[in-house]
Amino acid sequence: MRIFSVVLAAALLANAATAAKSHQITPVQGLVHSRMDNWHDTKRLLRAVDSEERGFSAPNVEMLQGWFKKGLISDEAVGLLSLGNKADDLLTGSLLNAWVSYINVFNKENPSKKMKMISTLTARFGDEALSTMVETAKRIPKTEAIATQVQAKQIKNWMKAGETPDDVFELLKLNTAKSLLFDRPPVNTWLKYMDEFTQSNAGSQFSTIATLRKIYTDDELAEMIIVAAKNSKTSDAGKRVETELLRTWFNEMKTPTDILRLLNRRKPGQTSLAPIWAKYSDLFNKVDPRFKTDMLEDWLKKGLITEDTFKLLTLGNAADDLLNGSMLSAWVTYIKVFNQENPTQKMSLLATLTARFGDEAVSTMVETAKRAPKTKDIASKVQAEQIQNWKKLGKNPDDVFELLKLNTAKSLLFDQPPVNTWLKYMDDFRKTNTGSQFSTIATLRKIYTDDELAEMILIAAKNSKTSDAGKRVETELLRTWFNEMKTPTDILRLLNRRTPGQTSLASIWTKYVDLFNKVDPRFKTDMLEDWLKKGLITEDTFKLLTLGNAADDLLNGSMLSAWVTYIKVFNQENPTQEMSLLATLTARFGDEAVSTMLEAAKKMPKTARIANSVQKEQIRHWLSTKKLPDDVFVLLKLNTAKTRLFDQPQLNTWVRYVDAFNDANPASKTTLFSTLTTRYNEATLAQMLVVARTSRGSARTTAIRIQAEQTKFWLSVKRTPDDIFKMLQLKKLGTNFLTNPIFLAWVKYTDDFR
């Protein structure tokens, strides 16, 4: 055995004091140099990890000496483990071997304190350094096997932690590599992880090129690939990325001319990218169906493809072809034949069409093909797949509206075939997302006013190709107006905002009047009279529902009872058009009036239970829509109450909401007092609280609570009794100040202050 190096002796001395105290593992702290950024000699600092921070320490030197004497570990391993992470050791693979030996021996001698290989090494060096060590060790025959095992565990660990390829790219600090990506050993680890991830996550959207394109342009990647090919240590990774880049261009239906333009955007003196273009041209000419016709001509001779199909596939996307359905039929035939002749390179019809034409054009093609009997079935299948693909990608109806470029259609919306695809997507989306806030009218209202929509609907009705979509939107528009409690008079005003010469919207209004008279309970009384005769509704209820929102009715609780009865009967008679009590009341009266109605109804025994239930639902709704206490304060119009705040019934609702908000958001707790101080100056609020304390009921209870919060605040900021005396302007109270409630409140604060 050779004698330990001088450096090891220095390491032993450095650790002697700590080792003497305990035989437990102790940390080596500080910063040490490591050349691990790439396969070359770039220097950087690598931190030796603190045990408290990462849960692991460097090996204890005395323990290593003992193992060395017993022959359990080599002197080389002792030296490496004592030094830790010297750059030369990282780049020869010796360090990995030493650590594996150390962990194995440690686990045998400490069965109750076993260390996990990956977590130990990662804690000691970090993901990037460990990957560098592993990739280096894999190149050395004596450490290749153990390095491969460690890498497999590292990858498994990332998979278990749910890391995506993009996450691992950053963990390995490849996002900072700039043009030296292929000089970083961890790039090989990342490529291997990409393979494992995509294999375990079929249909994943992650790919090598998708990740790299977030940092590099295609021409930058091409240049890096060519540079990587010149070095044996980087050529494999470069070749792998090159293959994927070529395949991506092909899948995106890029022609050799497209790529030539892309790669020619180089400055004089930069690396020539001709080799990349030559390879792509070769690949393209072998398999691309759109410009290279050899394969199609052969299929044509064999009777596998028609003359029309051949023409369409070589021409590409002429507008007439898109609009007669022939294009879809041609591509279906081509993909089928291609997949039969190339079973290892199968292409997806939808993916190919979308890459070639885009979502909008595919939708146009599909909608056109659905009108032709011979292509209707395949078009419906492609559309179903397109819709499923959007749902899988998490697209909402607004996203798809833009994907199909309907947001640019202006008044010609119904002339766009994709509008039918969008309406179908809206149906599918709402069916699988019950309670969704998305609706046809909500989306369209972001672009059009209701009278603009009405005019477009009337024009669409005149054309057989657009009438179905127009009728669908018309039905939803009428239903939306009804749900918003619009009267025929409201709609008449809305539709009469037309300039001379514009389309008459009388027919839309007539349809709404008809719908309204059939089912609306507030102004047309036929339905209510019928229910009244059947004993389904009382005389009072009938009166309330037809009158609407008289103040006295709101404040005596009868209104809530009437609406509960109405909604119940309406839902029984209209099971496919059920209405929500809270949503209906809020749309009809607004948050403030509903709150007032509920507070009044809670005081009546016969309506207390339903009032409490609806109020809880109202509070849950505000919480689910992320309303802050101050938002609800405004919703309930308490911000307009001024000094009459404590006279407002809806104040009780707001107090309950603040409590519910604090329960749901313990990290963002607030107080009634803190919200009110943004609305009132301290003196005014203090005086309001004193007056409210002299009242009865909930106003007094609320005032006492806020006053306690106020006192707590004043004490926390060390407000003296003298400060409060001045703020409350007690000098102005006059000779009867001793019995004034404001003075008595000040006396109480003086006692609290002591």
C-alpha span between 160 and 116 (Å, rounded): 15
Nearest to 567 by CA among 589, 587, 584, 588: 584
3-class DSSP state for residue 207?
A: coil
Indicate the range of 152-161, 629-638, 738-747 predicted with least confidence: 738-747
Residue 153 has pLDDT above 70, yes or no: yes
What's the mean pLDDT in 583-599? 84
Tokens of 683: 């003196």
Phi, psi of 347 (to 5 degrees): -110, 145
| DSSP H/E element including 45 | strand 44-47
Centre a 10 Å sphere on the Cβ of residue 143 and count the other Cβ atoms it contains: 22
- Residue-wise pLDDT tens digits, 670-683: 999 999 999 998 88
Query: What pLDDT is attached to residue 76?
Result: 61
Q: Distance from CA of residue 121 to its chain's centroid?
A: 34
Average pLDDT over residues 223-246: 92
The percent of residues in the chain predicted with pLDDT above 90, rounded, is 33
SS3 sequence of 534-589: CCCCCHHHHHHHHHCCCHHHHHHCHHHHHHHHHHHHHHHHCHHHCCCHHHHHHHHH
pLDDT at site 12: 34
pLDDT at residue 536 in the model: 61
Highest mean pLDDT among 128-132, 184-188, 242-246, 300-304: 184-188
Q: How confident is the model at residue 739 (pLDDT cuts 50, 70, 90)?
A: low
Q: For the ranges 341-350, 395-404, 690-699, which has the lowest average pLDDT?
A: 341-350
- Residues 423-444, mean pLDDT to the nearest whole number: 93
Task: Provide the token pair at 124.
Answer: 């000691």
Tell me the pLDDT tens digit for each residue of 190-232.
999 999 999 998 878 899 999 999 999 998 998 999 899 999 9
Orientation of helix 698-716 relative to helix 741-753, angle to 10°? 40
Radius of gyration of the chain measured on its C-alpha atoms: 38
Mean pLDDT lowest for which of 43-52, 523-532, 603-612, 674-683? Answer: 43-52
Please say if the pLDDT value at position 264 is more than 80.
no
SS3 87: helix
- Rounded Cα distance between 190 and 185, Å, is 9
Q: For 122-131, 201-210, 579-588, which range has the lowest pLDDT when averaged over its residues?
A: 579-588
Chain-centre distance of CA 657, in angstroms? Answer: 27
The HSE-up count of residue 52 (CA atoms within 13 Å, CB side) is 1
pLDDT over 70 (residue 660): yes
Given this model, what pLDDT does residue 237 score?
95
Q: Which of 532-541, 565-574, 622-631, 714-723 has the lowest mean pLDDT?
A: 532-541
CA distance to 464, 523, 550, 733, per residue, from 477 (Å)? 20, 20, 29, 62
pLDDT of residue 328: 78
Q: Please, which pLDDT band fits residue 72 given cuts at 50, 70 and 90? A: low
At 123 the three-state DSSP class reads helix
Task: Give the strand pairing for 44-47 and 31-34.
Answer: antiparallel
* CA end-to-end span of the chain: 80
Kindly report which listed range (275-284, 354-363, 651-660) carries the lowest average pLDDT score. 275-284
Pick from 63, 78, 69: which is nearest to 18 by CA? Answer: 63
Domain boundaries defined on the chain: 6-231, 294-519, 521-625
Mean pLDDT, range 20-48, rounded to an integer: 37
Helix (H) or strand (E) holding 235: helix 235-251
State pLDDT tens for residues 688-725: 888 888 888 888 899 889 988 888 888 888 888 888 77
Residue 35 has pLDDT above 60, yes or no: no
Q: Which of 49-58, 386-395, 534-543, 699-708 has the highest average model confidence (pLDDT)? A: 386-395
Among 32-36, 45-49, 303-307, 468-472, which range has the highest average pLDDT? 468-472
**Position 80 confidence tier, pLDDT thresholds 50, 70, 90:** low
Q: Above 60 in pLDDT, residue 395?
A: yes
Contacts of 155 (CB under 8 A, 6+ apart): 189, 192, 193, 196
Instruction: Find out whether 425 and 468 touch, Cβ atoms under 8 Å.
Output: no
Q: What is the pLDDT of residues 600-653, one digit of tens each?
A: 888 888 888 888 999 999 999 999 999 999 999 999 999 998 889 999 999 999
Average pLDDT over residues 469-479: 91
Q: What does the pLDDT average to over 241-269?
A: 75
- Is the pLDDT reported for residue 50 higher than 50? no
Please give the pLDDT value at position 205. Answer: 86
- Mean pLDDT score of the chain, rounded to an integer? 77
Q: Is the pLDDT of residue 273 over 60?
A: yes
The answer, yes or no, to whether residue 79 has pLDDT greater than 60, is: no
Would you call 176 helix, strand, or coil by DSSP? helix
- Residue 470's pLDDT band, with cuts at 50, 70 and 90, is very high
pLDDT of 287 reads 54
Region 254-275: mean pLDDT is 70
- pTM for the complete prediction? 0.37
pLDDT at position 291 over 50: no
What is the percent of the chain where pLDDT is above 70? 71
Local confidence band at 315 (pLDDT 50, 70, 90 cut-offs): very low
Task: Output the CA torsion sign for 246, 251, 257, 261.
Answer: negative
pLDDT tens by residue, 496-509: 765 555 667 778 88
DSSP assignment letter at 214: T
Rounded mean pLDDT of 324-338?
76
Top pLDDT among 36 and 641 is at 641
Residue 250 parent element (H or E): helix 235-251
Q: What's the pLDDT band for 37 if we cut at 50, 70, 90?
A: very low
Predicted pLDDT of residue 729? 73
Tell me which DSSP letter residue 304 carries.
S
**The predicted structure's pLDDT at residue 620:** 95
> Lowest-pLDDT range, 288-302, 341-355, 493-507?
288-302
